[in-house]
Structure 1
Amino acid sequence: MPVATPRFVRCRSRCLGLFLLLALWLGCAPAARATHIVGGEMDLLYLQGNTYQITLNLYFDALNGNPGALDNDMTVSIFEKGSNRRMQNLTLPLASNTLVNYTNPACSSPSLVTRRIVYAARVDLSANIYTNAAGYYAAVERCCRNNGISNIVLPADAGQTFYLEFPPVVRNGQPFRDSTPRIFPPLSDYACLGELFYYDFGGVDTDGDSLVYELATPFNGYSTTGVPKPTEARPQPYPEVRWGTGLSVQNQIPGAPTLSINSATGRLEVRPTNVGLFVFGIKCSEFRDGTKIGETRRDFQLKVISCPRNAAPSMSVQMPGTTSSYLPGRDTLRLRPGFSRCITLRFTDPDSPSRLALSLRPVNFPASLLPSFTVTQGTVKSPGAPDTLVSQLCFPACFNSRGQVYLLDIIVADDGCSLPKRDTVRVAFTAIPDPNSPPTITSTAALPLRARVGDLITFDVTGTDTDGDPLSLSMTGQGFQPADQGITFTQGASGNQIRGRFSWRVDCRAVGRPLYELNFLASSSVCSEAQTASLRIPIQIDYTNTPPVLTSSLPPAPTTPIDAPVRIRRAVGGVYEATFAGTDADTDPLVLSATGNGFDLAAAGMSFRATNGAGRATAVFRWDANCAGQQQPDGALEVTFRLEETTCRPEPRTRVVRFELINPDTLAFTPPNIFTPNNDPGQRNEFFTIPNLPPDFCDSRFASIKVFSRWGNQVYESKLRNFRWNGGQQPAGVYFYLIEFTDGRKYKGPITLER
């Protein structure tokens, strides 16, 4: 048996002659005059604020293009739609220059080499300027297209206008952000004469806007061979390229069928009937909330050549447990518990050699439920390789079609050029999963659970799955977060069980509600479907508090008004003592304290000695009266005695006592109203003196006495408390005295002098 030539070598050798002929044919064409443009498109990307980035992707013929036509920058012009008012010109510097890779590198053509030239720059679209409701458009003009294009008139003289439309940046007074569609995949492959060619030409929209695709005649524009790179683009309308005889926007590439595009996905399809190099145009419209907001145009080229014959591979599907083949459209595969869930696939290819690959496409069920192959690819009909490959497709035991008939396409593809040939078998099947028990959940908690502040609650929660499915255990609080209460739940797995340890040291945070309900959930996942078992554990919090009792030797508090404080009065130098006792039926720790309201106890001659303890506290208060009280605004010292308990919700008890200094009695103050300095024998009433002046009291001290005539003239003054005025040389009559104390007190009266 002769040794088979490897398929890709055979393909290369047969294609090489065709490619050389094609290259020779292209080489005989007239000399290119800066012809290089394969196609391209623009996009606008929102960055932040008013800043956008505009990008031009230009595809360059790396074989036949004139290297001198590779520009270091391009100029984009922005216009207002409707009025065609020029808004600005922007220079786009060269950003990158890379080769466009083939979908299948083994099928690369030496006569088809394309470079992707990227020009990009940031642009400011001010919210105060770009507000026209009609929107705006951007354009770049450049000449010239490839000289060898077959479907337009005078391709070497035809230019290209790169074009996009975008909305205003403000709509209804609010910012309107939009990025145009982008990431259109470049086309680097060729099509084979008479064979179906397909390619996903769809773009991506970062805003989630809807995209609609349609064929469009490429723009020629106003660039020429004489002025291939205008300094700026002219406003629309832009002249279009002229189609060759019999061709049009809906028949851009001769074919049966001719070139078409899926309006929703952007998938291109054509079965070409002529060889050659064909340019085509696509318009992608962008919609938001049913309204068109933008448009992007794209031009590109497709080369059609005569390819070596490539036969399609074939595949048969064998029913499980039998030797009979599955008949699409007639048989339904029924997967049941206790029976094999694997089908056998046999696939081959008439070509020699051929590398085959298997794939799956779900028709009416989620891709996450796809079964798996034992063999996904392999080579047939090469030295040491079999003529037929065998693989098994096995469905998970848990697969459940829920009574529906699911459809699954099983696809085998070869490595033929330019695109692989395929054979597809559509399998209809139903699936009943193997029986599976849900998990169970148990607890060591002895219900009902009751706790007081300070108690430690611990118990275990165990989830079990008898089928050994992966398990998880979780805990949630009904209306509260367990972590906020200091609750922990640590877990560990062993075999088909997972165990969690619940621990809670109850503290004062728990007294906010009488009942805490904990929900525990054991979950197992079977075929991406969760099965659960739950457990609810209530914990009741017992908390009561009896307020403490405060007693003292203080006089009873007055009843009118209710909040009036007790009044204790002492003269300077006097002493007052009182005892206090606090008790608590709950034996909570008690603390007795005394606080001066706005003054220091010690400075006022007060002391408070307390003995505190659990359930009982005692204290002794003492006041050695001094003049400190006179410094208060109302001359009184107010003390708050407080009994506090240490518990979650304390209820303190207080007594407020008002301590006042007794001012010496001034009722005995009776100044004389007459004196007679006449040197009588008995020397009686010879002087004006006041022996019973009000006594000095703290800061209130005798300052002076002054005597005035009835005309207001001062006739006498003394700063001595025991003053004696004999009238001096003053004539008899009525005089007036003024007695002043240091705290501002004053006493006035008349005094009659008789001789």
Structure 2
Amino acid sequence: MDLRYVSGNNYQLTLTLYFDAINGSPGALDNDLTAGIFDKATNRSMQDVVLPLVENTYVAYTNPACTSPSLSTRKLVYRSVVQLAPTTYNGAQGYYVAVERCCRNNGISNIVGPGESGQTFYLEFPAVLRNGQLFRDSTPRIFPPLSDYACLGELFYYDFGGQDPDGDSLVYELATPLNGYSSTRVPKPATATAAPYPTIQWGTGRGEQNQIPGTPTLTINRRTGRLQVRPTELGLFVFGIRCSEYRNKVKIGETRRDFQLKVIMCPTNAEPTITAQAQVGRATYRPGRDTIRLVPGGNPCVRLRFTDADNASALSLSLQPVNFTGPLPSISLLQGMVRAAGMPDTLVSQLCFPTCFDTKGQVYYLNVIVADNGCSLPKRDTVQLAIIAQPVPTHVPVLTSVPTLMQDNSTPLVIRVAPGSVYEATLTATDADNDPLTLTAAGTGFDMAAAGMRFVPTNGNGRATGLFRWEASCAAALLQQMEVTFRVQESTCYPQPQVQVVRFEVVSPDTLAFLPPNIITPGNHDGKNDEFTLPTLPPDFCDNRFATIKIFSRWGNEVYSSADRNFRWDGGGRPAGVYFYLIEYTNKRRFKGMLTLAPAYQ
């Protein structure tokens, strides 16, 4: 079973039942089952939930070619939505769900009275309100079905682990299946009985840690859920697994699984074999003794030979890195058939490491695995390669420009240009290794094209050039500081890009110092300082334009105004004395000053 949080107080309760379509009784295929929810601390019944059958399908074999008429499994899914209110489900020890149903298959070999033994499907979940806080949890789910059989005397393995949608830790262990209180007399109880539940009775020589006769007997990996057994007896065997759920190292729930494994007599299947040869003409690679050394300019490939003693055996290769991550070598032939009509006895493949493979001074281990198509599970052979690979030496590319945009410190170079001007620079990148080079230019937080900038690169091996052109405009002036990152990138194993950041600014054209006159003498008619004019007034700059000039008497009365930047004021017949002027631009920039109007005798 699994309990999945949906929304609000709604949870989805699902029971997935794998039904033995060969040995199971057709009358036991129910249209619905009833689950009981109980308080774990008191075993008090909280509610009953009817789970209708919503799915009925057959489970496929891992390898369809291994299909056996003695094993057929149906997947039955029962599901319903249940409400778990925080005001009700807040018990400190949590809750459990149980579904009881009788009976098990008569043909089960490892328990006493299988045809009279019941089943109890069991799930624990935490309170939805813990320490006054909502606690959302979806229990582990998506456990794979066990649709395969095991072969007598052959190692059987299966990844039986589940997934947790909350990322909680899962721990797997063997558990004795629960029998419960259902019986042949009452095979399908209307409601489940509260715990504790009696367990099944193991047959002679069997127990929780020895559920299936084998060497080794059934085991499960605590962290991965991988099952393993080498059966020593034929038969149909039931086994139990408990999956505990932990969050922050605290157990919050568990899920129990009962399953069956059928052990049959299988045709003899020989193991495939694989060997490696580091270089043509050299002896066979010896795992544990030899090391493959990859050097620049050397042969990066290993020859693989793999075969199988069985007739018409389909073989496939796979790679498994042991102590590293990153790009894996390529394989020229991944699969093929041996010892069939028109087919060779041995297959040959080339395993080639990428040019950039670098073990960083360590020994990397790579498993090369060959698997056959034997039933019920393929057999494998592994050759472990030990590799030391040296990196290809490389030089750092050099980036230059005319005029210079490069400098040796981290402070961006600043280029200032007046609006309407055009700025051009040619960038050149070179590489001593003749590696392919790519030049790029990118604006930081602005569109280069909208700012009037264009960069046209010509990339190549060992050399790349790029023309940068900027038509400075008033639109660019609104962007204020614009930073462009020029980058040269080499296509090599371990690229070392070179970067230069340049800041571009649109500035006002240079002008003479603005020094307005502070006295005019219109009354003496000597042709000097007869009028108040401002020929050195700062020029208009994009949207920053001259707006107006106003002249005031010493008492604050406006005596003159003009919106013409080429204005001329001769005093207008005003009496001599001190006046004040105010010049305003459209961007609110102001100039203020004092002007003396001299008497006529001067």
TM-score class normalised by the smaller sequence: 0.7 to 0.9
Give the Cα separation in 2 of the matches to 1:470 and 1:238: 72
Give the Cα separation in 2 of the matches to 1:346 and 1:71: 54
2:537 aligned residue (585, 589, 592): 585
Give the Cα separation in 2 of the matches to 1:71 and 1:618: 106
Q: Which residue of 2 is the match for residue 185 of structure 1?
A: 144
Report whether the alignment pairs 1:534 with 2:474.
no
**Which range is displaced more, 159-168 or 65-74?**
65-74
Amino acid at match of 1:652: R
Give the Cα separation in 2 of the matches to 1:95 and 1:470: 60
Secondary structure at 1:106 match in 2:
helix
How far does the alpha carbon of each residue in 1:160-216 deviate from its partner, in whole angstroms, 9 at most, with x for none?
211111112223333222111111111111111111111111111121111111011
**Structure 1 residues 50, 470: CA separation in 2 closer, same or farther (over 3 Å shift)?**
farther
Q: Is the 8 A contact 1:591 1:617 kept in 2?
A: no
Give the Cα separation in 2 of the matches to 1:176 and 1:583: 78
Secondary structure at 2:497 match in 1:
strand
How far does the alpha carbon of each residue in 1:507-560 deviate from its partner, in whole angstroms, 9 at most, with x for none?
4876897x7654433334645x5432222334466558988989999xxxxxxx
Give the Cα separation in 1 of the matches to 2:71 and 2:245: 32
How far does the alpha carbon of each residue in 1:637-688 deviate from its partner, in whole angstroms, 9 at most, with x for none?
xxxx975314xx5413699xxxxxxxxxxxxxxxxxxxxxxxxxxxxxxxxx
1:80 aligned residue (27, 31, 39): 39
More relative contact order in 1 or in 2 (CA 8 Å, sep 6+)? 2
Q: Which residue of 2 is the match for residue 420 of structure 1?
A: 378
- Displacement after TM superposition at 1:463 (Å): 5.6
Q: How many residue pairs were aligned?
A: 552
Report whether the alignment pairs 1:252 with 2:203.
no
Give the Cα separation in 1 of the matches to 2:15 and 2:299: 57
Secondary structure at 1:417 match in 2:
coil
1:651 aligned residue (589, 596, 601): 589
Q: Which residue of 1 is the match for residue 555 of structure 2?
A: none
Q: Which residue of 2 is the match for residue 18 of structure 1?
A: none
**Structure 1 residues 349, 293: CA separation in 2 closer, same or farther (over 3 Å shift)?**
same
Q: CA RMSD in A?
A: 3.5
Report whether the alignment pairs 1:386 with 2:352.
no
2:333 aligned residue (359, 363, 375): 375
**Structure 1 residues 46, 590: CA separation in 2 closer, same or farther (over 3 Å shift)?**
same
With the length of structure 2 as denominator, give the TM-score of the two structures. Answer: 0.82
Give the Cα separation in 2 of the matches to 1:82 and 1:66: 36
How far does the alpha carbon of each residue in 1:15-46 deviate from its partner, in whole angstroms, 9 at most, with x for none?
xxxxxxxxxxxxxxxxxxxxxxxxxxx11112
Give the Cα separation in 2 of the matches to 1:488 and 1:400: 41
Q: Give structure 2 stretches of 5+ with no counterpart.
A: 406-412, 521-530, 551-557, 573-580, 594-602
Q: Is the 8 A contact 1:548 1:652 kept in 2?
A: no
Q: How does 1:528-607 map to 2 (within 5 A)?
A: 529-539=494-504, 542=507, 585-588=537-540, 589-592=545-548
Amino acid at match of 2:171: V
Q: Is the 8 A contact 1:220 1:241 kept in 2?
A: yes
Q: Which residue of 2 is the match for residue 481 of structure 1?
A: 445
Q: Is the 8 A contact 2:97 2:122 kept in 1?
A: yes
Q: Which residue of 1 is the match for residue 87 of structure 2?
A: 128
Q: Is the 8 A contact 2:429 2:464 kept in 1?
A: yes
- Displacement after TM superposition at 1:225 (Å): 1.9
Q: Which residue of 2 is the match for residue 450 of structure 1?
A: 415
**Structure 1 residues 399, 164: CA separation in 2 closer, same or farther (over 3 Å shift)?**
same
With the length of structure 1 as denominator, give the TM-score of the two structures. Answer: 0.66
Give the Cα separation in 2 of the matches to 1:281 and 1:395: 45
Give the Cα separation in 2 of the matches to 1:300 and 1:653: 92
Q: Which residue of 2 is the match for residue 219 of structure 1?
A: 178
1:153 aligned residue (112, 115, 118): 112
- Displacement after TM superposition at 1:611 (Å): 4.3
Amino-acid identity (%): 53
- Displacement after TM superposition at 1:452 (Å): 4.2
2:364 aligned residue (396, 406, 409): 406
- Displacement after TM superposition at 1:266 (Å): 0.7
1:521 aligned residue (484, 487, 497): 487
1:396 aligned residue (354, 359, 370): 354
- Displacement after TM superposition at 1:482 (Å): 3.9
Give the Cα separation in 2 of the matches to 1:494 and 1:516: 25
Q: Is the 8 A contact 2:477 2:505 kept in 1?
A: no
Q: Is the 8 A contact 2:441 2:455 kept in 1?
A: no
**Structure 1 residues 109, 643: CA separation in 2 closer, same or farther (over 3 Å shift)?**
same
Q: How does 1:330-345 map to 2 (within 5 A)?
A: 330-345=289-304
**Structure 1 residues 333, 446: CA separation in 2 closer, same or farther (over 3 Å shift)?**
closer
How far does the alpha carbon of each residue in 1:133-167 deviate from its partner, in whole angstroms, 9 at most, with x for none?
21111111122222211111111222221111111
Amino acid at match of 1:176: F
- Displacement after TM superposition at 1:60 (Å): 0.9
- Displacement after TM superposition at 1:319 (Å): 2.2
Q: How does 1:635-674 map to 2 (within 5 A)?
A: 643-646=583-586, 650-652=588-590
Amino acid at match of 2:546: L
**Structure 1 residues 402, 611: CA separation in 2 closer, same or farther (over 3 Å shift)?**
closer
Secondary structure at 2:127 match in 1:
coil
Amino acid at match of 2:279: P
Amino acid at match of 1:231: A
Amino acid at match of 2:173: E
**Structure 1 residues 581, 58: CA separation in 2 closer, same or farther (over 3 Å shift)?**
farther
Give the Cα separation in 1 of the matches to 2:51 and 2:438: 56
Q: Is the 8 A contact 1:316 1:326 kept in 2?
A: yes
**Structure 1 residues 86, 459: CA separation in 2 closer, same or farther (over 3 Å shift)?**
farther
Give the Cα separation in 1 of the matches to 2:216 and 2:23: 30
Q: Is the 8 A contact 1:453 1:507 kept in 2?
A: no
